[in-house]
Amino acid sequence: MSFPGLVFASSELIKKTGQRVVIVGGGFGGATAAKYIRKWSNNRIEVVLIERNPVFISCPMSNTVLGGTRTIDDLTVGYDTLQKKYGIKLIKGDVTAIDPEKQAVMLDNGHVSYDRLIVSPGVDFMYDKIDGLDAQVANESILHAWKAGAQTVMLRKQLEAMPDGGVFAISIPKKPYRCPPGPYERACQVAYYFKNNKPRSKVLILDANPEVISKKGLFTAAWNDLYAGIVEYRPNSAVMKVDVATRTATTESGDVKADVLNVLPPMRSGLVADMAGLSNVDARWCGVDFLSYESRVHKNIHVIGDAIDYALPRSAHMATSQAKVCAAAIIELLQGNQPDQNPVMANTCYSMVSGNEAMHVADVYRYDSEKKVMIAAAGGGVSANRSELEGRLAGYWLKNILSDALL
Amino acid sequence: MAASQKFWVLLVIIGNSAIAEFRGKLRDGCPMIMYRMLLAIIGLALFSAAYAVDNRPRNLSAPCFACHGTDGNSEGGMPVLAGMDKALFVSQMSDFKSGARPATVMHQHARGYTDEEIKLMAGFFEAQKRK
């Protein structure tokens, strides 16, 4: 979609003097890209970051808010350091249109022109795939809490209000979705809360996939060792319909009534990507060139994070790794140079399975110049066991990745 | 010295001798001001090419920052890599690779990189200022 003439009918919100990169979305990907374009260009390239939320809240570790070992404040970081320390220009607001021809992003009160645009839109939810579900229901009663923040806090309150002996049911969509191990970690965290506070309660996992898709052995061991009699796992149980009044989920294999129903709808690229028609793969994910993260649809527009089309994990560490490849490539491209032709990136993802134990999956991904995709290098894998040591490392991971992205 | 740096140094040497050769011709054919400007432009081009930074070590190291802090300056818990002796970095990574040094996660990362890449990362982290 483009709107010829729109640019000139509105005013430039920030006077453009030199080369400028505009970034839409200040999550792990967008914030990291903003910081590193400034840092690696010695502040030569102007960066404008557009974000709708007043503060950053980390999705990773947000399941521990449900378990009760962290609060949402522990996961919250302001954008002020990005502004003060790196000179990033922050616009709080919603994008209303993107014009790839005139190279401008529209907001309610004007536009910002760009030489290069990075769209880091995260995911949005395909509510229409589940009968009875829509954005309002998801915000008020049958929460997803798959973007950390108000819903995370509300879900914790639902668990606190639930009587002992109640059922918490979580529905997992078919892959791919944001954070593959996240739903299984959430089941552990809710079970941890129940075990200590409401021991007669149950956690029911309704998985649309035929089996646990991430850290299978480790999660299965945690459920057996720590939460026997609390956690029940049901594969091939896609939720097709929900009834809000009775909190009933209809699955392929029958109806499930829950006291707290937590439905993760199927996911897609954040909707802002559609403003420039960037979601070109199955009208769902954004195809990119993995050397620069430039969109396959439009020149000078790059897409990073969970929204891109690839077969690798949609995680925070991957989003920041992509952001750095993209930042380095954009700096080269704006100087007329070729980007690094052999990007290598790493992913480490911890899952907290109790109050203090965690396990991880770690891989290095390398560019395959024939297939033109990132593929896992040999040698990656998961923890040998869950452990308290990894539980502490997970906390250090959070502290460092938040700092690397935002401070 | 990285291969790309050697290339640029060689280019400067060739460039300088080429300048000497063409100097005379340039002087004969141009007014003095234009001659000086031309020399300045050629000099500037060769200077910036010679000092074009090889960003490969930085790019390889950047994903490590997520756990080890920006430029290897860990904010806590994870080891600080900024300013680490290059040889120590290489030996630790080799020991993670071989399993000689037990680890929870580092063996899985170390095995994803070539020995040459590990040396480049070692050079990058050694050069970073420790906060």
Map out the domains of chain A as residue ranges.
6-124+268-338, 127-265
Percent of chain A with pLDDT over 70: 98
What is the rounded average pLDDT of the residues A194-204?
98
A40 touches chain B (CB under 8 A): yes
Residue B110's contacts (CB-CB under 8 Å, 6 or more residues apart) are A379, B93, B94, B96, B97, B118
pLDDT for B104 equals 96
* pLDDT tier, A336 (very low <50, low <70, confident <90, very high otherwise): very high
pLDDT tops 70 at residue A57? yes
The DSSP-derived string for B73-94 is: --SSSSPP-TT--HHHHHHHHH
**C-beta atoms of B66 and A317 within 8 A:** yes
pLDDT tops 80 at residue B31? no
Backbone φ and ψ of A369, nearest 5°: -70, -20
Domain edges within chain B: 3-50, 56-127
Distance CA A96, CA A109 (A): 10
Residue A264's contacts (CB-CB under 8 Å, 6 or more residues apart) are A144, A146, A170, A171, A172, A173, A177, A183
Q: What is the pTM of this model?
A: 0.89
**Which of A13-22, A191-200, A368-377, B50-59 shows the lowest mean pLDDT across its residues?**
B50-59
pLDDT tops 90 at residue B15? no
**C-beta atoms of B59 and A325 within 8 A:** yes
pLDDT for B50 equals 46
CA A405 from chain centre, in angstroms, equals 14
Distance CA A62, CA A153 (A): 10
B118: tokens are 């590990």
**C-beta atoms of A380 and B111 within 8 A:** yes
**C-beta atoms of B60 and A344 within 8 A:** yes
Distance CA A30, CA A304 (A): 8
Do A127-265 and A6-124+268-338 fall under one CATH topology?
yes
Bridge-partner residues for A367, per DSSP? Answer: A374
Residue to substitute from A337, A344, A351, A388, interface B, most B β-carbons within 10 A: A344
Residue pair B78/A348 in contact (Cβ under 8 Å)? The answer is no
Distance CA A182, CA A205 (A): 12
Residue B45 to residues A331, B3, B53, Cα–Cα distance (Å): 19, 20, 14
pLDDT for B44 equals 56
Q: Give B-chain residues touching A332 at CB under 8 angstroms.
A: 55
Distance CA A68, CA A99 (A): 45
- Cβ burial A231-258 (10 Å sphere, 16+ → b, else e): bebeeebbbeebeeeebbbbbeeeebeb
What is the rounded average pLDDT of the residues A54-66?
98
Which A residues 319-378 touch B at CB under 8 Å?
Answer: 320-321, 324-325, 328, 332, 340, 343-346, 348, 360, 362-366, 377-378
Percent of chain B with pLDDT over 70: 60
Amino acid letter, B92: Q
CATH number of B56-127: 1.10.760.10
Distance CA A300, CA A401 (A): 28
Distance CA B97, CA B46 (A): 41
- The two most distant CA atoms of chain B are separated, in Å, by 71
Distance CA A154, CA A170 (A): 15
CATH topology of domain A127-265: FAD/NAD(P)-binding domain (3.50.50)
**C-beta atoms of A320 and B66 within 8 A:** yes
Residue B104's contacts (CB-CB under 8 Å, 6 or more residues apart) are A360, A383, A387, A389, A390, A393
**Which of A90-94, A289-293, A310-314, B29-33 shows the lowest mean pLDDT across its residues?**
B29-33
Structure letter (DSSP) for residue A236: S
* pLDDT tier, B17 (very low <50, low <70, confident <90, very high otherwise): low
What is the rounded average pLDDT of the residues A344-371?
97
Higher pLDDT, A178 or B3: A178
Query: Which own/partner pairs from A80-85 qualify as long-range (CB within 8 Å, at least 24 positions apart)?
Result: A81/A406, A81/A407, A82/A26, A82/A31, A82/A34, A82/A35, A82/A49, A82/A406, A85/A407
**C-beta atoms of B104 and A390 within 8 A:** yes
* pLDDT tier, B53 (very low <50, low <70, confident <90, very high otherwise): confident
Question: Which residue carries 């802002």 as its tokens?
Answer: A272
pLDDT tops 50 at residue A197? yes
Higher pLDDT, B34 or A186: A186
Percent of chain A with pLDDT over 90: 97
Closest chain B residue to the Cα of A342, Cα to Cα: B56
**For helices A388-406 and A28-40, what crossing angle results, to 10°?**
60
Structure letter (DSSP) for residue B113: S
Q: Give A-chain residues touching B59 at CB under 8 angstroms.
A: 324-325, 328, 340, 343-344
pLDDT tops 60 at residue A87? yes
pLDDT for A252 equals 86
Which A residues 162-191 touch B at CB under 8 Å?
Answer: none
* pLDDT tier, B1 (very low <50, low <70, confident <90, very high otherwise): very low
The DSSP-derived string for B31-71 is: -HHHHHHHHHHHHHHHHHHHT----HHHHHHGGGHHHH-GG
Q: Which of A37-46, B2-11, B36-45 has the highest mean pLDDT?
A: A37-46
Closest to A231 (Cα-Cα) out of A286, A190, A268, A176:
A190
Question: Which residue carries 């007669």 as its tokens?
Answer: A200
Distance CA A299, CA B63 (A): 26
**C-beta atoms of B59 and A324 within 8 A:** yes
CATH topology of domain A6-124+268-338: FAD/NAD(P)-binding domain (3.50.50)
CA B103, B105, B110, B111 torsion-angle sign? positive
Residue A349 to residues A76, A91, A214, A398, B51, Cα–Cα distance (Å): 19, 31, 11, 10, 38
Taking only the tens place, the pLDDT of each residue in A208-251 is 999 999 999 999 999 999 999 999 999 999 999 999 999 999 99
**Which of A368-372, B39-43, B49-53 shows the lowest mean pLDDT across its residues?**
B49-53
pLDDT tops 60 at residue B8? no
